Homo-oligomer: A and B are copies of this chain.
């Protein structure tokens, strides 16, 4: 999705099949042409294919060293899984250094900022490669400045009932569906995995709180020549810990319409079990009430994550939620996203 095609070697060293590698899985699923190999010496030794670990990536080779990976001509090493314990293990240090010496850029979603590491920084300078820490906020970020007023661009914010319900996936799938329908559409990544997939974006939860709205505004303004921009959401507008991020992101993007994402089996806020989720209609009404005073926007459709339901249950729950809310709903993975795309076009009053 970036202009210059990336060729990624993804580092999962020793963790394939041990931890759920959300980032690796998403990169392989959504950037299949850009992932040239996965570096994991333990998995390589097992002889099992990548698909047996991630359910995707049948044709992606697993290599056991940087040297071996170089055969597939990667341009960057991507670290998309956190090391156990948070500290960078020595084995990983050696891999990062070997990659830099081999002329690869290093892209990291870790909390540990690799660019601040003196040894890595010095090596990167010597070998003229870039270290990109995707969690680092742009240094020149500031408060929102009402830059989006008057742009022709139409904006769609992805909101939802909780963390980890499928907002990034919905942004990505809806963007694909709108592109397929002839629109010049792009989506803006606001979290680590999305940024690694997109190759751009801002991890909005890591910017100074004063600048959250400004970060969202910048992501849209950078895409001002696109016909439609989808903004990945974070958290929920009533999340006990992350609502500040959510609301700043929503207001900063000044959307013309929204898509609400929910996992019907989820009954409490993820990791905050004392907080029951409110009815979906209440969540939708709250998102709309937040937009009403400054940039009125309605929820156009509902994306449902029914991964933990069988086909019949999924069908029932989707229809029940459509009846309850009066809005079109679907599971973008089971059913595709054209229903969402049609609803968004109608809400934006645009037609190809």
Q: Which residues of A contact B (CB under 8 A)?
A: 143-146, 149, 204-214, 237-249, 251-252, 254, 272, 274-275, 277-278, 282-283, 285-286, 289-290, 292-294
Contacts and interface: CB of A to CB of B under 8 A. Distances in A.
B144 A240 contact: yes
B240 A251 contact: yes
Contacts of A204: 209
Contacts of A290: 237-238, 243, 286, 290
Given A146-B274, A241-B143, A241-B144, A209 B293 contact: no
Given A146-B272, A274-B149, A293-B278, A213 B244 contact: yes
A14 B213 CA distance: 35
A47 B236 CA distance: 58
A249 B277 CA distance: 20
Nearest to A247: B247
B241 A213 contact: yes
Nearest to A249: B244
The CB with the most chain B CB atoms within 10 A, among A144, A206, A247, A286, is that of A247
27 contacts: A146-B240, A146-B272, A146-B274, A146-B275, A205-B208, A207-B209, A208-B209, A209-B211, A209-B248, A210-B241, A210-B242, A238-B251, A238-B290, A238-B294, A240-B252, A240-B254, A243-B251, A244-B244, A244-B245, A244-B252, A277-B293, A282-B292, A282-B293, A283-B293, A285-B289, A286-B290, A286-B293
A94 B245 CA distance: 41
Contacts of A278: 292-293
Nearest to A213: B241
Given A282-B292, A286-B293, A290-B237, A242 B206 contact: no
Nearest to A148: B240
A206 B145 CA distance: 18
A208 to B, nearest CB: 6
B241 A214 contact: yes
A207 B240 CA distance: 17
Given A244-B244, A248-B243, A289-B285, A208 B206 contact: yes
Contacts of A251: 238-240, 243-244
A290 B245 CA distance: 14
Contacts of A282: 292-293
A-B complex: 3 closest residue pairs judged by Cβ atoms: A244-B248, A212-B244, A278-B293
Contacts of A294: 238, 240, 275
B214 A205 contact: no
